Copies of this chain bind each other. A is one copy, B any other.
Amino acid sequence: MSELMARAGALDAADELAGARKQFVLDTVSDHAADAAGVYLDGNSLGALPANVPAHVEDVVRRQWGELRIRSWDESGWWTAPERIGDRIAPLVGAAPGQIVVGDSTSVNVFKAVVAAVRMAESAGTGRDEILVDATTFPTDGYIAESAARMTGRTLRPVTPAEVPGALSDRTAAVLLNHVDYRTGRLHDLPSLTAAVHAAGALAVWDLCHSAGALPVGLDEHGVDLAVGCTYKYLNGGPGSPAYLYVRRDLQDRFDSPLPGWNSHTEPFGMRPAYEPASGAPRGRVGTPDILSMLALEAALEVWDGVSIDAVRAKSLALTDFFLECVGAYVGEGRVESLTPVAHAERGSQVALRCEGAGEVMKRLIERGVVGDFRHPDVLRFGFTPLYVGFADAERAARVLGEVLTGEVLSGEAPC
């Protein structure tokens, strides 16, 4: 056994979060044999299945829908699920209750948040005609921000997060930023950027897709105005599970939604012709919530009971440190280049390696049971989800990567 393998074993033995792995369905035997003993490093794209979810979904389908039917809107708590589940996400992103509502996709929530932020800036009485958007952001945020700008008569200006402080002015209405760069895994400085945005009199909207559940966010502490995020990555809500919207409590009365659906009415069943928005988080709702996906998410969030997000962050950094060390040891000089910052303060919970022929390399990794993903044109992404990824997984992934890149195959392991 190599020194790195021995170190991995010791690190796993000392890991206070190691017990969380048993709450997930992993190590399953599928028709794709190589996956059976695989290393799943794509939880930053789709989180693994929490073990309690299947039985819960079955109850939702068979009993709540199949037997109680329409009564479940009240009796099974369907109607209040968006706020209730929002309150369950809240502590994971440093928010007090009553400020997060779950529903719709991230893209739809970006639209709500950016338009609402522009309107809040407008209601302050200034002539703020510019929206800044993270030029390195996941593309949908840029597309949607462009639409929000067009529909509110603002100009959209893409800048890198580093350029934001210099780009802010009294023309800035709102700034949309990603907490972690989806491609490189770079963590942006939410506290100082938010403070800079506020100093310029603008509103800060943060996309937490790649940070929530992986590291502390501190929405309330840092005075973030609005935030959105998905729930199918580090929150393990399932494929396409609903996203969420955070509106800081003291801004909620000024949240003027571009999507004022009946679910956000102060009296939804009054069926009134005139719209009158609800107070609080429900003002961010739109249409009927998709209950199956939403209640699967609610069950999935139970894995966080008793888990400290600081412990998650500590393990995440230790995992990515160790993985980078193993890559250094196993992968020949110059074969890959890490795009992920070395400094902990600038690192999310993934490692991105630039690699020639990355698409083909990732295919071979997956054949060998190491599941990451490929991002065009030349990036290998490896996501580290501290609740179910261990140090032996990190060592093995780096080792298999080294083998794939040298064309070797580990003895005793069939190449798929």
CB of A293 to closest CB in B, whole Å: 4
Contact assessment for B69 and A292 in the assembled complex, using a CB-CB cutoff below 8 Å = no
Q: How far is the CA of A258 from the CA of B375 in the complex (A)?
A: 27
* Among B78, B105, B257, B259, contact of A239 (Cβ-Cβ < 8 Å): B78
Contact assessment for B40 and A66 in the assembled complex, using a CB-CB cutoff below 8 Å = no
Question: Which 7 A/B pairs are nearest by Cβ-Cβ distance?
Answer: A105-B287, A107-B261, A107-B287, A239-B291, A140-B262, A49-B66, A240-B290
Is A225's beta carbon under 8 Å from chain B? no
* Among B32, B66, B106, B287, contact of A140 (Cβ-Cβ < 8 Å): B287
* Among B108, B142, B241, B259, contact of A292 (Cβ-Cβ < 8 Å): B241
Is A130's beta carbon under 8 Å from chain B? no
Is A304's beta carbon under 8 Å from chain B? no
CB of A198 to closest CB in B, whole Å: 27
User: Among the listed stretches A51-59, A323-331, A336-344, A350-358, which one makes contact with chain B, having 4 or more residues with CB under 8 Å of it?
Assistant: A51-59
Please, could you name 15 A-B residue pairs with CB atoms under 8 Å apart, sorted by A?
A28-B66, A46-B70, A53-B61, A54-B61, A69-B371, A105-B286, A107-B286, A142-B275, A143-B260, A143-B262, A144-B259, A158-B273, A239-B291, A240-B291, A290-B293
Task: Give per-residue flags for A369-391: 1 if the beta carbon is below 8 A from chain B beta carbons, else 0.
Answer: 00101011000000000000000
Q: How far is the CA of A65 from the CA of B45 in the complex (A)?
A: 12
User: Among the listed stretches A11-19, A146-154, A162-170, A313-321, which one makes contact with chain B, having 4 or more residues with CB under 8 Å of it?
Assistant: A146-154
| Additional pairs, 17, CB under 8 Å, beyond known A25-B66, A151-B258 | A25-B67, A32-B71, A42-B69, A45-B70, A49-B61, A49-B62, A71-B371, A105-B261, A135-B273, A138-B271, A139-B262, A140-B287, A151-B151, A240-B288, A241-B292, A269-B376, A293-B293
Q: How far is the CA of A45 from the CA of B258 in the complex (A)?
A: 26
Integer count of this chain's copies in the complex: 2
* Among B40, B61, B104, B263, contact of A238 (Cβ-Cβ < 8 Å): B61
Is A35's beta carbon under 8 Å from chain B? yes
Q: How far is the CA of A263 from the CA of B139 in the complex (A)?
A: 10
- A262-B138 in contact given A108-B104, A376-B271 (Cβ < 8 Å): yes
Q: How far is the CA of A257 from the CA of B61 in the complex (A)?
A: 33
Q: How far is the CA of A270 from the CA of B25 in the complex (A)?
A: 31
* Among B73, B139, B238, contact of A65 (Cβ-Cβ < 8 Å): B238
Chain B residues with Cβ below 8 Å from A270 are: 376
Is A179's beta carbon under 8 Å from chain B? no
Q: How far is the CA of A115 from the CA of B293 in the complex (A)?
A: 28
Q: How far is the CA of A376 from the CA of B63 in the complex (A)?
A: 28
Contact assessment for A146 and B275 in the assembled complex, using a CB-CB cutoff below 8 Å = yes
